[in-house]
Amino acid sequence: MEAPGGDSLQYLTELHAALKNIQSLSGKILSKGVQLLKDIASEESEIIEEISDQLDHSSDSEIAEEAQNYLNSLITDSETIHQEIEEFARAVVRGNEAVYKIDSLFFQQVWHGDMYDKDHVDGLKALCADLQGQLGLLTDDNVVNTVVSRLREVNNDSSGEES
């Protein structure tokens, strides 16, 4: 594999580290996201109860649906990564042309700079930073605050329309 700038060993080391980090972070996101999804689906969900305590006009089913939608939005990239990283890793080792031929539009966008305005290993590092941010959002407190905020917006919008 040809490295931009010429140092192939360093480039391959950075590439390997970035791919390993992406795989690790996406695994952690999926694990934590699924755990939170299970929590909000349970009848005894403390998250749903906490949100419900802060809202006057939202049913538990509406709260659970909004929480599920929010969590799904946080884990979508990691689901894609989990399904496609091995194919991408094999292609990237074969070279840039092989990356164009893979089915993963997600990884093509990262690799060619369309997703983060950085390409190749720098694009993968930007993806790592993005995943780190997503992982940081997968907390009970953040889910509660985000869902409360979203449902208040919806409730304010609908009460404004009825006036």
pLDDT per position as a tens digit, 35-73: 999 999 998 999 999 999 999 878 999 999 999 999 999
Asked whether 36 and 143 are in contact (CB, 8 A), the reply is: yes
- Predicted TM-score of the model (pTM): 0.88
Per residue in 119-161, pLDDT (tens digit) is 999 999 999 999 999 999 999 999 999 999 999 998 775 655 4
* Count, residues in the chain: 163
pLDDT band for 20, please (50, 70, 90 cuts): very high
Interior CA angle at 89 toward 72 and 112, to 5°? Answer: 75
Helix axes 140-162, 60-94, angle to 10 degrees: 120
How far, CA to CA in Å, does 41 sit from each of 58, 66, 114? 16, 12, 36
pLDDT for res 155: 77
pLDDT for res 113: 93
Q: Which helix (H) or strand (E) holds 11?
A: helix 8-41
pLDDT for res 97: 86
pLDDT band for 104, please (50, 70, 90 cuts): confident
10 closest CA partner among 116, 100, 18: 18
Asked whether 11 and 1 are in contact (CB, 8 A), the reply is: yes
Average pLDDT on 80-99 reads: 92
